[in-house]
Every structure is written in structure tokens, then in C-alpha cells.
Amino acid sequence: MVGVIRRLNKLTSKLVRLRIGPGAAILPNTVSRIHLEFAHKINGGHMGPRKFWRTALPRLKYWNPAIPMIVNRVREQEKPATMTLYFREPGAPVKADVPQPSSSFDGLSKAPPPAEGERIVTINMSNRRSEAILQEFLEKTGAVPVQPTPQDELELREAEEREAQGAIDRERVKREIDAAKREKRMIAQALSEAAAIKSAL
């Protein structure tokens, strides 16, 4: 039963952190899809894009599940990191059957050209911090950041308190285990010395 409670607490912590924080924003219905392209490693100006992908994109997906968000990871570190935003032109119909490439970790999902009734805006993410990338993204899309509710703040505070208490408990248990191991070694050494003395008589 303790294992179930621990897993539930971890899940609650992950969910509250997914709902609030950098990237928690609601996109306008004019945004039709988002495409990110950056390298696997952080050198060459790809640290900020990678952090944006790890921290902000999951929250954007959580709050905007109907908007496709494609990530294309490339092996060439010298390539620029870019974000392509696709906007539906005013009056253009919503097309549910537009084929979407799946995300790729081998550079196989290039940014597709805009479909009929779409326009694109590109953000250069190279050599930029994730916070700056997110700020430009919010400005260019007109996304509305989600403000945490009092319940969210309470759950986050409780999660942080549980994690802090967990760290204290782990340290206490480690000290107890180390002390038990030391005692066991001392007893074994004392028995060994007693046996040696006995055999010497």
C-alpha cells in the first residue's frame, strides 16, 4: 500500500508541474501547427532550444492537445535551430485531413511547406536562452499564459514539502544502514580477533 501512495504522490507532483510553469499557455485557434528543429547535442548554440523542448513544449502540448507539434532532431551541430509557426489565414477553413509528419530523432521530419490558407513565421532559436525563445514565441503567437490557481499552488507546495521530507528521510535511513554495516563489521572483526587469540593459546 505504501508503494501505491508513493507512486500517487509522484504522479500528482508531475501533473501539477505539467499544468503550470514556463510554456503553460493557451494558443489562439489561428495557430495550426508548430515545428522545431535542433541538434542532438547542446554545443553550437543548441542548449536553449533543447531546454525549451524539455521544459516548455510538454506544457504547450498539455494545454493545446489539438495542435500538432513536430520535433526534428538533426545530427549536424552546425545547422541553425529553428522554430516554424504555422498560422491559418483569416477565413481559411480548418482542415483536419492535412498530413502531419511524425517527430524524428534522425532529421527525417523537415518543416513542411505551408498548406493552402497557411502562412509561416520562423523563430531563430540558435544561441538563445529558452526563456528568450519562449518570450518571442508568446509574442508571435499571441498565446495567453495560464495562471496557476490557488489549488495548483497548494499542490505544488505540498509536492515540494514531500520531496524535501523525502530527502531528509532518505538521509536518515542511509545513516542507519551505514551504522548497522559498521556495527556488523566491528562484530565480525572482534570475532575474528577472538578466534585468532584462541587458536594462538
Give 120's DSSP letter: E
- Tens-level pLDDT at each residue, the chain (201 residues): 456 666 766 666 677 778 888 999 999 999 999 999 999 998 889 999 999 999 999 999 999 999 999 999 999 988 999 999 999 988 777 666 666 778 888 888 888 899 888 999 999 999 999 999 999 999 999 999 998 887 877 776 777 777 777 777 778 888 888 888 888 888 888 888 777 777 776
- What does pTM read for this prediction? 0.72
Report d(CA 47, CA 200) in Å as an integer: 68
Q: In a 3-state reduction of DSSP, which class is residue 74?
A: strand
Q: In a 3-state reduction of DSSP, which class is residue 16?
A: helix
